Amino acid sequence: MAETTLDLRDMPKRQAYEELGAYVSSVLAGIDDDITAMATISALAHHAFGFLWTGFYRLVAPTLLRIGPYQGTLGCLEIAVGQGVCGTAAKERKTIVVPDVTAFPGHIACDTRARSEIVVPVFGRAGTLLAVLDVDSQIRGAFDATDRAGLERLVGWFIRPER
């Protein structure tokens, strides 16, 4: 198939996430490689919504996240579990929505233009934490329950029970 980068900014958010999810599944059909999936999901989500920064931090040791595939300006290379928004999401194994990054104690500013952020844990089979997906926006309060549901569903790919 000929892959195309979607721009879904004109679509209602819920519908856009549905469209994106379906497209990610079709592009990744037959692929069984986490890094390929991270690269594909970050590129497609980033451009679909026009985010500031979109990418993965992989859990490479019990207490260490290291940057994986991403789109945007240079990201911090390593983040300790428990530090920043990413490290907190990894530690708590739950999604964190930060409407105003200046109000989050310990927020790590990789791109000073970031105003709001969402970090979603990425689980593999048997509930193993593989990574977190970090999305930043230049707009304050950009992320809501629809983004949470949409992004959590998107990273459901990594469980891939049928493969």
Site track for ligand SME across 31-50, x = CB under 6 A: --------------------
Closest to ligand SME by CB, 23 or 115: 115
C-alpha 90/C-alpha 94 separation (Å) is 7
Window 117-156: residues binding ligand SME (CB under 6 A): 117, 134, 136
| Neighbour count for residue 105 (Cβ, 10 Å) | 6
Question: Does 86 interact with ligand SME (rule: CB under 6 A)?
Answer: yes
Closest to ligand SME by CB, 23 or 75: 75
Among 108, 124, 148, 159, binds ligand SME (CB under 6 A): 108
Q: How many residues bind ligand SME (CB under 6 A)?
A: 14
| Neighbour count for residue 96 (Cβ, 10 Å) | 21
C-alpha torsion angle, residues 40, 44, 47, 49 (rounded to 10)? -140
Q: Point out which span in 6-14, 17-25, 42-50, 84-92 binds ligand SME (CB under 6 A).
A: 84-92
Among 59, 79, 96, 133, binds ligand SME (CB under 6 A): 79
Question: Does 85 interact with ligand SME (rule: CB under 6 A)?
Answer: yes
Contact call for residues 132 and 89 (beta carbons, < 8 A): yes
Which residue from 138, 146, 89, 98 is spatially nearest to 118, judged by alpha carbons?
98
Which residue bears the tokens 């983040």?
A: 79
Question: Does 6 interact with ligand SME (rule: CB under 6 A)?
Answer: no
How near is the Cβ of 70 to ligand SME at its closest, in Å? 7
Tokens of 42: 């970050």
C-alpha 80/C-alpha 83 separation (Å) is 5
Tokens of 91: 């530690």
Binding site for ligand SME (CB under 6 A): 53, 75-76, 79, 84-86, 107-108, 110, 114, 117, 134, 136
